Amino acid sequence: MSMFASMAAFALATSISPGPVNVVALGSGARHGFTASLAHVTGATTGFCLLLVLAGLGLHEAVAAWPQVTNVVRWAGVVFLLYMAWKLASDAGELDAGETAARPTMLQGAALQWLSPKAWLAALAGMGTYASDGAASAVWLFAAIYFVVCWLSIAAWAWAGSRLQVYLRTPRRVRVFNRTMAGMLVASVVWLAAA
């Protein structure tokens, strides 16, 4: 039981902490509401858990053999996040556009995890800690625990964003919020680029 609790605590610490996926969930919740943001939440959770399982089944060995893969992932993530930040910062904040504006999809949520060095570090460190021998039972147990904790963590960010909708009733406030979210994404990009 202590291993189960330890796995859950690791999953919570790495899933609930601020990062690009959670910033997007917060922004999506604020712009589109909680229910509409669940596709992003589910895609990000599924994408991360797939990365986690692959890390547990040997992906970490491939990454170690080809360290340039890490650089490609990191810089692809930087470019993707800067693009998302630019889209947020340039949004006019029109309230009627909220319903027609594209909300993050399942695929975007999954892709964001695969392009996030934070996700790679969490997957490799987690599997290195809890399933270093590559035992399939440990890999799948950790992935199952992580799925639940990760989904709830990202959903909490989307829910928090949805609570902000009450305050985002004017285009000016939406623009300020979007630019704040863009700034948070840029800050995470700076951290990722320096890592």
DSSP SS3 for 115: coil
Alpha carbon separation from 171 to 3, 96, 134, 175, 178 (Å, rounded): 49, 10, 52, 6, 10
Q: Provide the residue-wise pLDDT of the chain in tens; the chain has 195 residues.
A: 688 899 999 999 989 988 888 988 998 998 899 999 999 999 999 999 999 999 888 866 766 677 777 677 677 777 877 887 888 788 776 755 445 567 889 999 999 898 887 888 888 888 888 887 778 898 999 999 999 999 999 999 999 999 988 888 888 888 888 888 888 888 877 776 676
Burial 106-125 (b: 16+ CB within 10 A, else e): bebbbbbbbbbbbbbebbbe
Closest C-alpha among 165, 191, 183 to residue 28 = 165
For the record, the structure tokens of 68 come out as 């340039």
Name residues whose C-beta falls within 8 Å of residue 18's C-beta, 6 or more positions apart in sequence: 184, 188
Closest C-alpha among 175, 190, 191, 167 to residue 88 = 175
pTM for the structure as a whole = 0.80
Name residues whose C-beta falls within 8 Å of residue 58's C-beta, 6 or more positions apart in sequence: 134
Angle at 120 between CA 117 and CA 124, to 5 degrees: 145
Tell me the three-class secondary structure of 118-152, residue by residue. HHHHHHHHHHHHHCCCCCHHHHHHHHHHHHHHHHH
